[in-house]
Amino acid sequence: MSEGGVTWYKMPRPQGVTPPEEKWKLVHLFQRIQSYKDENGRQLSESLQKSPTQKENPEYHKLVNRPIDFSGIIIKMQKEQYNSVEEMIEDLLLLFNNTVKVFKPYTQIYKDALTLHCVLLQAQTELIDLDHNRVEVPDVQQCVQEILKTIYTNILNFQDESGKYLLTALVNFLERECSEEMLLIDFSTVSNKLYTGCYQRLDQMQKDLFSIFEKIRHLAKDNQEIYYASVRLQEYYILSREQVCEWGQVLDSPALRYINGHLQSDLKMEKAMEKAVRAGGSPDSTSDIDVDYSNMTVPLINMRTNERCVREDGSPSFEQYVTETGCYKIGDCVYLHPDGRNKPGIAKIDVLWEDKEGIPWFQGPVFLYAEDTKHLPTTVFYEKEVFQGHSIIRQMSDVIGKCAVLHISDYIRGRCTEIPEDDVCVYRCRYEEGREFWKCGVKTGQRQGSKQVPSDEWYFFKKPLQLWTNQGSPFLQEALSECLNATEPSPQATESEPKAVAADGKTKLPESKVPESTETEEKRTDVEQPQEMQPAQAEEQTYDADADEVLDFEHNRRIKFTNGYPLFLREKYSSFKRKFPGKTINEIRRMIHLKWKKLDSEEKMQYHLKAREKIKKNFHKPALVEVLDDQ
């Protein structure tokens, strides 16, 4: 995870002097944090005023990549290096995160950092409430309804050169030529469905309108005035639809794929078929006419049927599947049964299939809530943020509803029109048990389905959302209570603890003294030695303080040779890289680490002995060689 749990995604901002509207926010927020005092009148920020130097606390600079303190933040404010209050909040979160990462919960500086972190979250929330210029998420369903009404109103008020309303002429023609039994849908039906909110998608309304236009052309074979009025009104509908939707910049719908060129192709095909019928032939005799038949069919709405497709291995699968809870297609995110929890599970459908018994299954990644992950108590999150986890295989009977999980770059730009805002979550990174968070560059994207399973409609905001990472960790209050009640262990208990000995003879600190870190499991494996990696005669050896000091000194200089795993990693990396050319470096390291875990103790010991030989060859201090030879 980024330092301090700060925002991974940040809108680009111009560099320069702090804007005037941001200055009062910076001063207000910083004074709120710096001047905070406890019940005894002690100012908590004093303990964080200056970060420790290399001599004072070398462990701090090992674990912290970006040291920062209150004095540095003050200097940046004086030089007007902050372009927005969000940038200063990122520095404050980084400061608290560095402190919590290095110091123990019983220390006063740890308690001060965690307390100020809570004050920052509260002040940030108050600042958001005071700032009324923030872009709020609009009611997407209401915006779509307004777009549909605007398009329909445009064709309702369209007039020709003589001032005649074309829609009125078409309505009168239908009343004269058709009975209610012949015409299943007319303009009044479309109007009623529109103003009662039955249309949730543009392609639904377009399908009904196009069926009416096609019916009029079929009935008006001998009435050229009505025929061309219908064609002209349909052409104007296409133009008006594109202008209102701004050619997909405001509303992106499969209906926009049908353009005026497709209409002209359909008209040519209709005339050719009519001419063939009059000549006594069949409609198939029009094959010699030059017509573009690709994308000619009007986009359909979501078909409530199971759409079959074939997997790469030849097994039957589905592009869309209907269950009792709804219709789901590949690419959808769904809710799963809570299984005794307060929140339902969330997963994405990547593959759909039926087994031999006809039971539907799906496979895809699961999305985890913040409380399902391990993180520092100073980590902050977006509202409704989830994290992409491992892949799962579940039955479709476990699905209880549909939702949306959008990558942050999509989340700030728009919404799927059919998913309510309460069912929309945001994600920005992946999470794996025993590892850190890491930035996820893979977006959910929009999958292009077949004509029977069209893609979703998307409404795009006029201005991207500006998000705040103001949601504290679900473990924050618990961690704050524990650290306030924590006491420093007695020196006698610390001195009585036996020293742990690593494979290379280095003494290790007891686990209670090992600084907390967010390093990955692979990096920790390179430093710490499991019990199975210790030589059998280690328990019989006695060590003096001078030898331990030399070993500690050389261990810090040559940390990559502390055990056999780095050698194993170096030997296996090339072969794994050739065997899996499409894998990333981190994925290859994880596979090699899993293979290392599966080795037995004897094989691991061989690599440990090789590592010790490298230490003897590379280290030239006589005292160290004597200690190694004595072992």
Higher per-residue pLDDT: 258 or 484? 258
Whether residue 268 is contained in a domain is answered as: no
CATH at residue 107 = 1.20.920.10
Residues 91 and 237 in one domain: no
**Assigned token pair, 433:** 């048990």
Which one, of 373, 378, 370, lies nearest residue 516 by Cα?
378
Q: Is 303 within 8 Å of 455 (Cβ atoms)?
A: no
Residue with tokens 């809108």: 11
d(CA 230, CA 217) in angstroms, rounded, equals 7
Contacts of 258 (CB under 8 A, 6+ apart): 206, 238, 295, 298, 299
d(CA 183, CA 175) in angstroms, rounded, equals 10
Q: What is the pLDDT averaged over residues 135-142?
A: 87
CATH at residue 440 = 2.30.30.490
How many structural domains comprise the chain? 4
Residue with tokens 């941001």: 22
Residues 100 and 239 in one domain: no
Whether residue 446 is contained in a domain is answered as: yes
Q: Letter for the amino acid at 480?
A: L
pLDDT at 435: 63
SS3 619: coil
Whether residue 300 is contained in a domain is answered as: no
Residues 510 and 397 in one domain: no
Whether residue 60 is contained in a domain is answered as: yes
Whether residue 615 is contained in a domain is answered as: yes
pLDDT at 339: 78
Confidence of residue 16 (pLDDT cuts 50, 70, 90): low
Question: φ and ψ at 56, to 5 degrees?
Answer: -70, -40
Instruction: Identify the weakest region by mean pLDDT among 176-190, 225-239, 537-551.
Output: 537-551
Q: What is the pLDDT averaged over residues 360-366?
A: 93
Q: Is 386 within 8 Å of 347 (Cβ atoms)?
A: no
Q: Which of 258, 274, 299 is the last residue of a domain?
A: 258
Residues 40 and 189 in one domain: no
pLDDT at 615: 63
Residues 595 and 556 in one domain: yes
Residue with tokens 């303190």: 69
Q: What is the pLDDT averaged over residues 486-506?
A: 50
Q: Given a cut of 60, is residue 557 above it in pLDDT?
A: no
Higher per-residue pLDDT: 611 or 141? 141
Residues 70 and 106 in one domain: yes
Residues 182 and 110 in one domain: no
Confidence of residue 436 (pLDDT cuts 50, 70, 90): low
Instruction: Identify the weakest region by mean pLDDT among 562-576, 589-603, 616-630.
Output: 616-630
pLDDT at 555: 40
Whether residue 75 is contained in a domain is answered as: yes
d(CA 567, CA 565) in angstroms, rounded, equals 5
**Assigned token pair, 120:** 């920052």
Residues 107 and 173 in one domain: no
Sign (positive/negative) of CA torsion 174, 179, 183, 188?
positive
- Give the domain extent around 205: 152-258
Whether residue 302 is contained in a domain is answered as: no
pLDDT at 567: 82
Q: Hey, which of 3-12, 280-289, 603-612, 622-631 has the most confident mean pLDDT? A: 603-612
Percentage, residues of the chain above pLDDT 90? 41
Confidence of residue 117 (pLDDT cuts 50, 70, 90): very high
Higher per-residue pLDDT: 540 or 326? 326
Integer distance in angstroms from the first to the last C-alpha of the chain? 41
- For the chain, give the mean pLDDT: 77
Q: What is the pLDDT of residues 313-338, one digit of tens each?
A: 556 788 899 998 889 999 999 999 98
d(CA 428, CA 440) in angstroms, rounded, equals 6
Residue with tokens 């209880």: 400
Q: What is the pLDDT averaged over residues 522-526?
A: 38
Q: Which of 229, 258, 287 is the last residue of a domain?
A: 258
Residues 124 and 200 in one domain: no
Whether residue 115 is contained in a domain is answered as: yes
Q: Is 83 within 8 Å of 16 (Cβ atoms)?
A: yes
Determine which helix (DSSP H) or strand (DSSP E) holds 115, and give its type and residue range.
helix 108-130
Q: Is 554 within 8 Å of 615 (Cβ atoms)?
A: yes
Rg from Cα positions in the chain: 34
Percentage, residues of the chain above pLDDT 70? 73
Residues 102 and 194 in one domain: no
Residues 349 and 444 in one domain: yes
Contacts of 430 (CB under 8 A, 6+ apart): 387, 388, 389, 437, 438, 440
Say what the pTM is: 0.69
Residues 415 and 348 in one domain: yes
